[in-house]
């Protein structure tokens, strides 16, 4: 088989250190303000103004809290964490008392994701400090874990990241258009016939997971002028994607096929890295070393976020963090981790109700009030990332309770979470709340929320709804 030319197949490198440029000649920057006039359409970023502020306590002129007290206009943005008292800017107004009761005028019924871009950069820097000179390849698949791949990728590019991993070619296209040409983008699921045009047009590097993928790719690469480089994925025990022992043996004995692939990385994936004591970690490490030694020397990559905490033997030349960039706990030992919270789901109080003892709440009447309760109906449900499994358990069943935050207090979810609405028991809140006040989900309680439903923090992030308004924060927004 003819070995295709690799001339020009690497992404062009800037000779003067300037960032890459778009087709219109304008530089791509991590703090790109090109979206400052974007409309608040479904799934699109919402750019904030400088005249008002929004906090989890409620909307208020320049940060006024739900109590209506005056604000300094600087509502406590810390640069690293987004919590119930942190602020974004909006066009809302203080609480009023009308015929229907206390409400907050000017609020939106649409849930909002507060995404702290400075925290993403800080998490990247903290992981880089931990691993030293080893490169970071950022996982931005699944729309950067639900946070918006274009904006997150530009932020990471601005932090110095030049290697990105996505799951599909369509995701790769989106990232390439956001960050420009001066970066490598690997597609973890590998090439498929209908996706090949995207690989060549947007210079995406396929991760080769089998001999069949290898042969299909080289057949197409022979016809291309400048085929992208590839990565080889060796399965070391996960039994998911990756070349098994037979495929690895075949490829190692067929140097013509190996050279035609043009790999610039050999990788595998750890199955049990969150548990440092699991013997699967050392087994996979040994298998990866043995298998990769059968090929010419290339950069190696094994560790995900959790793998970075297993120590230097697992780092090789590149690590591939995902959840750690986005503020999620990656291991069973939270104390060792260096990530800060990144995202909060904020949802407004739409209605306040008094539920008498013995009355039921929500679908299936699965919750019965054991006392007279004050209930806040919140404008977010499972369509926005609050899973049905966070519903309260019937009284005859045992289970953990899921919570949200209001007025910096944790309040329990009651009844069944529905598509658009969730109900909270606010009976024990000290201060009065108003329609239009905001409840917070996730934030610094991401792992707590995952534990409550016996689920994964990864899943809670990627479930964050596309109809949520995304509001991106930087410390400079509050300067």
Contacts with 277 (C-beta within 8 Å, 6 or more apart), sequence order: none
Residue tagged 């690497």 (tokens): 10
CB 156 within 8 A of CB 31: no
Closest CA to 186 of 168, 174, 209: 168
At 287 the three-state DSSP class reads helix
Task: Identify the active-site residue in 50, 363, 371, 408.
Answer: 363
Residue tagged 């994936």 (tokens): 269
CB 449 within 8 A of CB 390: yes
E strand or H helix at 2: none
What is the residue-wise DSSP string for 32-52?
Answer: --TTTT----TTSB----SS-
Q: In angstroms, rounded to a whole number, what is the distance separating the alpha carbons of residues 30 and 13?
A: 18
Closest CA to 377 of 402, 344, 327, 413: 413
Report residue 367 as tokens: 């919750």
- For this structure, is 470 an active site residue? no
Task: Identify the active-site residue in 141, 154, 173, 205.
Answer: 141
E strand or H helix at 143: helix 141-146
At 312 the three-state DSSP class reads helix
CB 372 within 8 A of CB 356: yes
Contacts with 109 (C-beta within 8 Å, 6 or more apart), sequence order: 348, 350, 379
- For this structure, is 356 an active site residue? no
Report residue 300 as tokens: 């190696």
Q: In angstroms, rounded to a whole number, what is the distance separating the alpha carbons of residues 356 and 214?
A: 66
Q: In angstroms, rounded to a whole number, what is the distance separating the alpha carbons of residues 84 and 103?
A: 19
Identify the DSSP state of 12: P
Enumerate the H helices of 202-341 as residue ranges.
Answer: 211-221, 245-252, 255-261, 279-292, 305-308
Q: Strands 184-187 and 163-166: what pairing?
A: parallel
- Sheet of strand 53-55: strand arrangement: 58-60, 53-55, 87-88
Residues annotated as catalytic are 141, 363
């Amino acid at each position: 088989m003819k070995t295709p030319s690799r001339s020009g197949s690497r992404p062009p490198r800037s000779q003067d250190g300037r960032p890459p440029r778009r087709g219109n000649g304008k530089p791509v920057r991590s703090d790109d303000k090109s979206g400052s006039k974007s409309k608040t359409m479904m799934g699109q970023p919402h750019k904030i103004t400088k005249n008002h502020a929004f906090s989890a306590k409620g909307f208020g002129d320049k940060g006024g809290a739900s109590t209506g007290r005056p604000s300094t206009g600087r509502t406590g943005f810390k640069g690293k964490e987004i919590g119930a008292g942190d602020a974004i800017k909006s066009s809302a107004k203080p609480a009023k008392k009308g015929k229907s009761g206390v409400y907050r005028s000017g609020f939106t019924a649409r849930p909002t994701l507060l995404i702290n871009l400075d925290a993403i950069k800080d998490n990247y820097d903290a992981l880089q400090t931990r691993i030293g000179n080893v490169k970071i390849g950022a996982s931005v698949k699944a729309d950067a874990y639900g946070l918006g791949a274009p904006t997150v990728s530009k932020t990471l590019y601005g932090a110095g990241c030049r290697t990105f991993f996505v799951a599909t070619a369509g995701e790769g296209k989106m990232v390439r258009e956001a960050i420009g040409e001066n970066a490598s983008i690997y597609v973890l699921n590998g090439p498929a016939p209908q996706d090949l045009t995207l690989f060549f047009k947007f210079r995406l590097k396929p991760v080769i997971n089998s001999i069949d993928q290898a042969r299909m790719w080289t057949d197409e690469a022979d016809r291309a002028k400048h085929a992208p480089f590839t990565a080889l994925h060796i399965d070391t025990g996960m039994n998911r994607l990756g070349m098994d022992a037979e495929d690895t043996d075949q490829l190692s004995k067929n140097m013509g096929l190996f050279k035609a692939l043009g790999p610039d990385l050999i990788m595998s994936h750890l199955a049990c890295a969150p548990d440092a004591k699991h013997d699967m970690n050392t087994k996979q490490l040994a298998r990866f070393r043995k298998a990769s030694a059968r090929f010419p020397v290339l950069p190696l990559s094994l560790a995900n976020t959790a793998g970075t905490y297993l120590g230097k033997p697992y780092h090789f030349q590149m690590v591939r963090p995902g959840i750690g960039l986005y503020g999620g706990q990656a291991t069973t030992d939270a104390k060792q981790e260096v990530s800060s919270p990144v995202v909060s789901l904020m949802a407004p109080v739409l209605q306040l109700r008094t539920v008498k003892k013995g009355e039921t709440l929500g679908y299936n009447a699965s919750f019965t009030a054991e006392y007279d309760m004050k209930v806040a109906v919140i404008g977010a449900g499972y369509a926005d990332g609050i899973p049905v499994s966070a519903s309260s358990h019937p009284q005859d069943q045992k289970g953990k309770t899921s919570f949200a935050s209001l007025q910096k207090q944790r309040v329990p979810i009651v009844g069944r979470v529905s598509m658009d609405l969730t109900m909270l028991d606010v009976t024990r809140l000290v201060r009065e709340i108003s329609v239009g006040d905001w409840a917070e989900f996730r934030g610094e309680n991401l792992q707590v929320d995952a534990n409550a439903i016996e689920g994964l923090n990864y899943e809670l992030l990627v479930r964050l709804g596309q109809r949520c308004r995304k509001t991106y924060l930087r410390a400079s927004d509050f300067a």
